[in-house]
Amino acid sequence: MTERQGVMWVDKYRPTSLDKMEVHRDLNERLSAIGAQGDVPHLLFYGPSGAGKKTRVVALLRLLFGSAVLKVSFIQHHPINARRCLMMY
């Protein structure tokens, strides 16, 4: 069994780096520049479902930390309806 077998289609074909993302290239360039500096400020990603927020966050984390980033989970807090990002590696 290969590493990618048994993975959902959407996860299997999800872009893994910012340069592989086709939509909002200007945003990808800005995030790449921030990642190249290594000093990343606090960032808030927002937008409709399916806009690529999680994919961009994972790609940025991979740019910063390499393949050590295996999984990112988003937890929704009900009182303020905000999301918090947890890195799991």
Helical packing angle, 53-65 and 25-37, nearest 10°: 30
* Average pLDDT rounded to a whole number, residues 52-78: 77
* pLDDT beyond 60 at 86: no
Q: What pLDDT was estimated at residue 21? A: 87
> Which domains does the chain possess?
9-88 (3.40.50.300)
Q: Across the chain, what does the average pLDDT equal?
A: 76
DSSP string, the chain: --TTTTS-HHHHTS--SGGG--S-HHHHHHHHHHHHHS-PPP-----STTSSHHHHHHHHHHHHHGGG--EEEEEEETTTTEEEEEEE-
**CA 76/CA 35 separation, integer angstroms:** 26
Task: Determine the pLDDT at residue 87.
Answer: 47
Predicted local confidence at residue 5, as pLDDT: 67
pLDDT at 89 over 50: no
pLDDT of residue 7: 77
Q: Is the pLDDT of residue 80 over 50?
A: no
Tokens 């947890």 — which residue? 86
